[in-house]
Amino acid sequence: MKEWWVQVGLLSVPLLAVYLHIPPPKLSPALLSWRSSGGYFTYKDQNIFYRDSTGAVGSSDIVVLLHGFPTSSYDWCKIWEGLTQRFHRVIALDFVGFGFSDKPRPHRYSIFEQASIVEGLVRHLGLHHQRINLLSHDYGDTVAQELLHRDFSWGKSPRGSHTLTRLLPCRSELFFFFFFKGSGQSSGPTRSLHQQSTGTCGRQFLFSILQYINQRKKHRDRWVGALMSTSVPLHLIYGPLDPVNPHPEFLQLYKKVLPMSTVSVLDDHISHYPQLEDPTGFLNAYLNFINSF
């Protein structure tokens, strides 16, 4: 009898081939509205989708949201309105290769490029001298870490530092290297990573996108080191049921490696996408952190 993992692999190959040939789903009214309320800027001939909402009067604070893999800026839809009640500007983008942004092929997708795109968007909006709060999730955490390493020229807070919230960092960003496990949030831009990917070209596209996993391993010292050495206030919002970052091992490791970071632990049933699973609990945790400065 063949090893079970060989049997699983043999079964997975045809299933993946079938999936890659499934036509993309039609966009829901909610996604059409999300797209129509955003815009595009150009980064090296690539059209990058972003949303920029003006919110709270009397506040000068800005928050930039960085989504995870394999999703898009739509991950933030359930907390968007709540953020606009606290921040003057709420900004999110779809990384190149994701959501409504361009998906060039062939292309060498990299965390470094995604970080440069964030910098480009901030310059495009004329905010490179303003205070920036950064809220990141999963893949976006690694982009945030690269920005920290570069000492990204966001504005200073009254304490003389930046504020960064790391929302459910994939544990591969610290010491482990797990493959992505999905959350079931598969609509519109979530599937758009795959929806133009068919046949051999599609498999090459997926392979190119997934190189971020190897990049995390290769540049571990650079990106974990950025977290360990930064003076930026850090905060983790954690769902104990997260299969990617299992409880309690991940939380114990996180606190050991980053003792200066504060942590919010949500209800026991919250998993890897707390901003979607528990938007109220997540938003309260985030705003409590922001308002502590």
Q: What is the pLDDT of residues 127-153, one digit of tens each?
A: 988 889 999 999 999 999 999 998 765
Q: What is the pLDDT of residues 237-254, one digit of tens each?
A: 999 999 988 999 999 999
CA distance 215 to 108: 12
Residue 263 lies in a domain: no
Residue 104 lies in a domain: yes
CA distance 118 to 134: 11
Mean pLDDT of the chain: 82
| Helical pair 220-229 and 139-149, crossing angle rounded to 10 deg | 70
286, with CB counted inside 10 A (0-12, 13-18, 19+), is buried
Range with the largest mean pLDDT of 149-158, 179-188, 280-289? 280-289
CA distance 27 to 25: 6
Q: Is the pLDDT of residue 156 over 50?
A: no
| Number of structural domains found in the chain | 1
Residue 81 lies in a domain: yes
pTM: 0.81
Q: Is the pLDDT of residue 113 over 60?
A: yes
Residue 47 lies in a domain: yes
Neighbours of 256 (CB within 10 A): 9
For position 88, which CATH number holds? 3.40.50.1820
SS3 167: strand
Backbone angles phi, psi at 234, to 5 degrees: -115, 150
Look at 154 and 46; give whichever has higher pLDDT: 46
Residue 40 lies in a domain: yes
Q: Is the pLDDT of residue 265 over 50?
A: yes
Neighbours of 274 (CB within 10 A): 26
Residue 176 lies in a domain: no
Q: What is the pLDDT of residues 25-51, one digit of tens each?
A: 788 999 999 999 999 999 999 999 999
Q: Which of 101, 88, 99, 94 is nearest to 133 (CA)?
A: 88
Residue 50 lies in a domain: yes
Structural domain containing residue 74 = 28-154+161-170+192-232
Residue 276 lies in a domain: no
Look at 289 and 199; give whichever has higher pLDDT: 289
